[in-house]
């Protein structure tokens, strides 16, 4: 029963996006803290395509070979391969990282408001309101 409530495409997407945005926040924080470290390679968390694929697998009908509870989406952190733009081979541009941090924070806050509203709606239905 709980799987039918929390296993919807929308909820699985929100859950995975929150995980991805949290990992992205950590990567951006690492980038900012290493902005002056020579040779530091910028970290990125490109999770959107992997999340879409994971959600599609989780909500697709069971086949004869694979069926069961969805596996938790785990975003991966990679190194930015676009190359360093500074003489010390550091790939971090502090201004871009600050923009990315603000964008990520807004996305995370929006999703937490959605999830909060989702649970408030469930609570209202349970209480008969």
Neighbours of 25 (CB within 10 A): 17
In sequence order, the β-bridge partners of residue 78 are 44
Question: What percentage of the chain has pLDDT greater than the value 90?
Answer: 50
Q: Which token pair is 124?
A: 């209202």
> What ranges do the domains of the chain cover?
2-126
> Does residue 111 contact residue 21 with C-beta atoms inside 8 Å?
yes
Cβ-based burial of 72 (10 A; exposed 0-12, middle 13-18, buried ≥19): exposed
Q: Which residue has the higher pLDDT, 82 or 120?
A: 120
What mean pLDDT do residues 82-102 have?
Answer: 89
Q: For the chain, what is the mean pLDDT?
A: 85
Does the predicted TM-score (pTM) go above 0.85?
no
Mean local confidence (pLDDT), 2-16: 79
Distance of CA 71 to the CA centre of its chain: 15
User: What count of Cα atoms within 13 Å lies in the side-chain half-sphere of residue 34?
Assistant: 18
Q: For the segment 41-91, what is each residue's pLDDT rounded down to a tens digit?
A: 999 999 888 888 877 776 666 554 454 555 677 899 999 988 777 888 898
Q: How far apart are CA 123 and CA 116, in angstroms?
A: 10
Report, in angstroms and rounded to the nearest whole number, the Rg of the chain calculated over CA atoms. 19
Distance CA 14, CA 55 (A): 10
Check residue 65 and give its pLDDT: 47
């Amino acid at each position: 029963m709980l799987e039918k409530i929390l296993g919807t495409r929308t909820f699985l997407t929100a859950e995975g996006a929150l995980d991805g945005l949290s990992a992205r926040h950590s990567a951006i924080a690492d980038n900012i803290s290493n902005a002056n470290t020579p040779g530091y390679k910028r970290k990125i968390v490109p999770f959107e395509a992997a999340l879409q694929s994971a959600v599609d697998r989780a909500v697709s009908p069971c086949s004869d070979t694979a069926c069961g509870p969805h596996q938790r989406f785990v975003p991966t952190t990679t190194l930015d391969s676009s190359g360093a733009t500074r003489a010390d081979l550091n790939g971090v541009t502090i201004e871009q990282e600050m923009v990315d941090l603000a964008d990520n924070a807004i996305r995370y806050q929006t999703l937490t408001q959605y999830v909060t509203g989702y649970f408030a709606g469930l609570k209202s239905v349970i209480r008969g309101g």
